[in-house]
Chains A and B, each alone.
Chain A
Amino acid sequence: MTDDLTTESPVQEETPRDPWARELFFADDVEQHPAVRELREQFGEVVVDVVRFRDETTIHVRPEYLRQVSDYLRTHEQLSFKMLIDLTALDMLRLRTAPRFDVVLQLYSIKNRVRLRLKAGVDDGQSVPSVVPVWNGANWLEREAYDMFGIVFEGHPNLRRMLLPDDWDEGFPLRKDYPLRGWKEYPSYNTERTVSRTRTRWTGRGA
């Protein structure tokens, strides 16, 4: 810093730092994170909680504002979280009482080269605004989250089963109360060999 050379300023009077410096995104004090700062400024109550773990920042927001917050982060001149890297959900069944699910968005800012995690709690039966109007890439990701968790995204253009068959009626497999082998009993496949193994010319070893 050039200021250090000219003035012997005390530590408290920090040199006027760039409010958008990349270090701030990784600062120990999570409130210094520019996205947190801006969101608190802009939306106030919407930010429920901010968590920092292993250099990753997670912002919990209120679900009804998810789309506004996303759009704000995307269109913000300096934050510029243009990319939605991932959208998924978390079933917090055994970890807390309510809300049951967290919708998790992994954002990335190409400009600042930082990631940001956005979480919005949503209860079973509630819906969360779709972010497809913000990012088209959310289309398939939200469909998958719906498919796996049953979270309804309000305003999604085409919310239907994605990985599971269209007529899947056994619920949502990634929920924590969904058993690993499913609800239904499936007949075990006949794995016994019905034809005896014989040594043939083609198999050679009598496999």
Chain B
Amino acid sequence: MELTVDHFLGLSAALFIIGLMGVLMRRNVLIIFLCVELMVAAVAITFAAFARETNTLDGQTFALFAIAVAAAEAAVGLALILALSRRVRSVDVDEYRTLRD
């Protein structure tokens, strides 16, 4: 059995879907945040796997960019959580509806 790109894609898909399910199922905003990070990381695996498959570095480059953007997202997201928790005293997403109104 050869280690092919399918293995990596499968792992990536599994992680992505676990992350997605977490986003959908959990109510705690911090865990949702963690799951989003997991999804981004899963996608980065896909990038790297395709890069390996096609013998280019573009995939790795974009994985790198994905990580950078995820860092920015994390900073903003955590700041939002902090600001919201300071105001609402709760990290339950359903209570953040006031934000939409």
Q: Do chains A and B touch in the complex (CB under 8 A)?
A: no
